[in-house]
Structure 1
Amino acid sequence: MGTWEEHREGARKQLDISLVTISTSKYLDRTKKDISGEIARNLLEKTGHRVLSTTIIPDRKDMIRRELLRLLISDTDVIITSGGTGLTSDDITIEAITPLFKKEIPGFGELFRRLSYDEIGGASMLTRAAAGVIEGKLV
């Protein structure tokens, strides 16, 4: 058995996950459905994980970091954010989160763009998806 197989074999099968949607428009108008958040929750639960919390916050660096810090001291294993990774001036999720990474996982963004390409073509290069580890938690 190879090293990656040993890691996979020893990995937990169920993770506790927190979802954070970053969208000023959804934050201000709570009647708007958080479709991406609902899809993420359904996929995670269908694959055996537990979603501990879902939150909607605006595109504000201070609020993004405050929510992240709150979740870092919680029982969650993984924090998944959605939104704010594009190229407009409001898209500041990456600027808010990546400076906090102790370790970055560059392969995540690469794989995300590759899989997105199959769905949306060349527009996939416009995402700045990123992942890393902060305080031992995957973000």
Structure 2
Amino acid sequence: MSHKCHEEEAKASIGVVRFSIYVVSTSRYEAIRKGENVEDVSGELATQIIKSAGFEVVSKEIIPDSREAIIQALKKASTAGADIILFIGGTGITWDDVTVETLELMFDKRIEGFGELFRFLSYQEIGPAAMISRATAGTYKHSAVFAIPGSPSAVELALKKLITPEAKHIVYLSRRSAPHTP
């Protein structure tokens, strides 16, 4: 079946697309635990873009940048029926950025083109610094999963140019994939 046929079938067969958003930031997570008010610019921006594209945000949470927290969030969102699980942040190249490595171990299938296109589009905006922009995507059970950098410009680029335009098609395909339990 061609891409166009998949897209048409997806638009017709997929109802509301449900997103779960996780902002990966140990410092913000710890501040919340201390009862401090935390500004979540990227998480709020993601929510706004997703809703304005006609999709639903079923949960949004700030979690620490730890393998355990990321895996727990992934499993929780998938079990709750999220169609797309979005992780924002923790994608850098420092030792404590573990989002990409953690998620890639959990994927049933990787969506290679997402990271490639994200870096290509980032290069057009920020030049050679795009080479250290780590973004990844894949499927986990019935859900599509995306991990993107935490800057507002990265959130806007990923959601407006890549994720929301293809959301129904991606959900259609990920629901057809065979699940596994790692």
User: TM-score, normalization: structure 2?
Assistant: 0.72
Cα deviations by residue, 1:36-81 (Å, 9 ceiling, x for unpaired): 1111111110010000000100011111111111111012111010
Tell me the CA shift for residue 119 of structure 1: 2.4
Deviations 1:86-109 (A, max 9, x none): 101110001111111111010000
CA contact (8 A) 1:13 1:48 kept: no
Q: Distance in 1 between matches of 2:89 and 2:115?
A: 14
| Higher fraction of helix | 2
**Structure 1, unpaired ranges of 5+:** none
Asked if 2 retains the 8 angstrom alpha-carbon contact of 1:86 and 1:128, the reply is yes
Rate the CA distance shift 1:76–1:121 in 2: closer, same or farther, 3 A: same
Q: Which of residues 67, 73, 80 is equivalent to 1:61?
A: 67
TM-score by length of 1: 0.93
What letter matches 1:129 in structure 2? A
- What percentage of aligned pairs have identical amino acids? 41
Following superposition, which runs of at least 4 residues in structure 1 exceed 4 angstroms of deviation? Answer: none
Could you tell me which residue of structure 1 aligns to residue 21 of structure 2? 19
CA-atom RMSD, angstroms? 1.3
CA deviation profile, 1:85-138 (whole Å, cap 9, x unmatched): 110111000111111111101000001111222222221111221100010210
Give the 3-state SS of the residue equivalent to 1:110 in structure 2.
Answer: helix
Corresponding position: 1:74 with 2:80: yes
Q: SS of the residue aligned with 1:53?
A: strand
Tell me, yes or no, if the aligned pair for 1:59 and 1:84 is still in contact at 8 Å.
Answer: yes
Q: Is residue 118 from structure 1 mapped to residue 137 from structure 2 by the alignment?
A: no
